């Protein structure tokens, strides 16, 4: 396990989610579950982040913001689409102002479906994301 896997810092962004998934994410970040045990920090700052956790189906208002945040995260980075809205647009897919999932705007590495997403699924998603993060880092090192 490299240092990338031991210190994954998160950036959480709500791209027009109903807040259901966000509450589950925040709950998992509370002292009760203590994600700092795994070196996880909720940074709130794209420049410091490794894993980009996005909820919601993305609408016209925030797709630029989403793109901007993604561009500001330095490589290696992993994007997690949390909730069925973020994964595919969910029930809002056909709305006139909804893009229909995070992957319509930025590349997504891990999909965590559910409405709202269950904490167990969320944690499994993060574990998957850490795996992808390691892969990407190894690739970056190899390219050097």
Q: Which residues bind ligand SF4 (CB under 6 A)?
A: 17-18, 20-21, 55-56, 83-85, 90, 115-116
> Between residues 2 and 61, which has the closer beta carbon with respect to ligand SF4?
61
**C-alpha–C-alpha distance, residues 10 and 43, integer Å:** 6
Instruction: Report, in Å, the least distance between residue 1 CB and another protein.
Output: 10
Question: Rounded CA gap, 64 and 38, in Å?
Answer: 32
Whose Cβ is closer to another protein: residue 19's or residue 97's? 19
Q: Which SS3 state, helix, strand or coil, does residue 47 take?
A: helix
Nearest CB to ligand SF4, comparing residues 20 and 131: 20
Minimum distance of ligand SF4 from residue 93's CB (angstroms): 11
Q: What number of H helices and E strands is found in the chain?
A: 5, 5
CA dihedral (113, 119, 124, 130) in degrees, to 10, reads 100
Distances (CA, A) of 140 to 35, 75, 133, 144: 27, 8, 10, 6
**Which of another protein, ligand SF4, none has residue 17 at its interface (CB below 5 to 8 Å by kind)?**
ligand SF4
In the complex with another protein, the residue whose CB is nearer, 14 or 43, is: 43
Q: Which residue is nearest to ligand SF4 (CB)?
A: 20
CB of 113 to ligand SF4, least distance (A): 8
Q: Give least dist CB 31 to ligand SF4, A.
A: 23
Report the C-alpha gap between 124 and 4 in whole angstroms.
Answer: 17
């Amino acid at each position: 396990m490299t240092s990338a896997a031991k210190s994954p810092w998160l950036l959480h962004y709500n791209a027009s989610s109903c807040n259901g998934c966000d509450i589950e994410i925040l709950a998992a970040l509370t002292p009760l579950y203590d994600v700092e045990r795994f070196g996880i920090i909720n940074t709130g700052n794209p420049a410091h982040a490794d894993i980009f956790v996005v909820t919601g189906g993305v609408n016209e208002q925030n797709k630029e913001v989403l793109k901007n945040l993604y561009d500001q995260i330095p490589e290696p980075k992993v994007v997690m689409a949390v909730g069925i809205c973020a994964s595919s647009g969910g029930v809002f897919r056909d709305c006139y102002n909804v893009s229909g999932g995070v992957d319509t705007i930025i590349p997504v590495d891990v999909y965590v479906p559910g409405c709202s997403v269950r904490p167990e699924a969320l944690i499994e998603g993060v574990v998957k994301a850490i795996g992808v993060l390691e892969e990407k880092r190894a690739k970056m090192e190899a390219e050097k």
